[in-house]
Structure 1
Amino acid sequence: MIALYRPGTGIFHRLPAGVKLAALAVGALLLSLYPHDPISIAVSLLIVVGLYGVSGMPLRVLLVETWRLRWIVLVLAVALVIFVSPVAAWISTGRVLSVLLLAGLLTLTTRMADLLEVLHRLLRPLRRLGADPEAMALTISLTLATIPVMAGFAARVREAEQARDVRLGVRAVVPLLVLALTHADEVGDALAARGMG
């Protein structure tokens, strides 16, 4: 769901990671706190699409990012249509989609090392409270980096189902869990090899 960095020379690639992270936070707050109507949500989505265009990303990248989010959008929209109203479904789903696409644009245009450095600087004051900012920043960056890996594992499980012409249904969680645990062990071994407990 969260994309990996794509090298480029667009305006968003050149902006400092801290500025982009702050802009994402402000955008998420505005989308979450400001009382929206269907038209303002449509405008928000158009602005996000425009930001992808300004960033120099091909339209295909935006379509791939949107496709990755299809299940979140579908489940949220259907639940809200059933339990609330179609208008509420459009507003809430549009908010979530806008924020997730903005987060995707951040990770597409920002190296993980740069994000890690910004997070480390932001978390440094917590050292006075006994927290370890390096470990916290590493944990956050590993979480962000693992999301697309998990999406890749899910795609592998689906491809294996299609190749064998079977439908595992809920049981598909088992191979996905095995892949996730194997990946976690490999990451743990790599961190231990570098002296990170």
Structure 2
Amino acid sequence: MLTLYRPGTGWMHRAPAGPKAFVLLVLVLAVSLLPSTYLAAGIAATVTVLGYLVTGLGLRELGRQIVSVRWVIVITLGAQLLFLQTEPAIANTSRVLAAILLAAMLVLTARVADLLDAFERGLQPFARFGVDPARVALVLAVAITTVPVLIRLASGVREAQKARGAGGGLRAFVIPFLVVSLKHADDLGEALTARGVA
């Protein structure tokens, strides 16, 4: 399975996957519940920047993550500006961006195998209600890693187009991106089938 994990020795990398996932989930929920004001946008941005600094990932990694989701920013802000005033549009986009960047911290500092183990342990109490912890943990891990992987695939398509001197039109991007996305989905489906999940 593709992952965005970046090896490191900081405390965030050494922290157990379960508590780390819980803390980041709380942060994402807190940012998501902020009001639609410029102050809230500033708070969301500050929390995100501090998160990357405190965890040792750094501003360079934060910049890389922002660049990788630039189209999400453009589309989200553009759609918001069509229906809302400037302040709530900017605030909402800032909250969405902060939530994505904070969630990315989890996949940057935890291996997928560690996430699977943490989710499976956390779901064990629900086994008495007929829940299969291993299967649900796998679905959660796949869900967490899919969006960053698709973003990376999109960046790869753009870089390949630039290297070949291809035009930057939307149609020229969408078709190759769909091809690599479907290829990734096929590979993932085969891997799940081989493990007896699908």
Q: TM over 0.5: same fold? A: yes
183-192 or 113-122, which moves further after superposition? Answer: 183-192
Aligned partners of 1:32, 1:191: CA distance in 2, in Å?
A: 32
CA contact (8 A) 2:69 2:151 kept: no
RMSD of equivalent CA atoms: 2.4
2:44 is equivalent to residue 41 of structure 1: no
Q: Deviations over 1:65-98 (max 9, x none)?
A: 0111211112111222231111001211111111
2:14 is equivalent to residue 14 of structure 1: yes
Q: Which amino acid aligns with 2:182?
A: L
CA contact (8 A) 2:25 2:103 kept: no
What is the percentage of aligned positions where both structures have the same residue? Answer: 39
Structure 1 gaps, min length 5: none
Aligned residues: 195
- Structure-1-length-normalised TM-score: 0.84
1:1-197 paired onto structure 2 within 5 Å: 4-35=4-35, 37-162=37-162, 163-166=164-167, 169-170=170-171, 172-197=173-198
- Structure-2-length-normalised TM-score: 0.84
Structure 2 gaps, min length 5: none
SS in 2 for 1:48: helix
Aligned partners of 2:22, 2:194: CA distance in 1, in Å?
A: 34
Aligned partners of 1:185, 1:97: CA distance in 2, in Å?
A: 29
CA contact (8 A) 1:11 1:54 kept: no
Aligned partners of 1:167, 1:189: CA distance in 2, in Å?
A: 33
Aligned partners of 1:40, 1:155: CA distance in 2, in Å?
A: 30
Q: Which amino acid aligns with 2:141?
A: S
Aligned partners of 1:77, 1:195: CA distance in 2, in Å?
A: 42
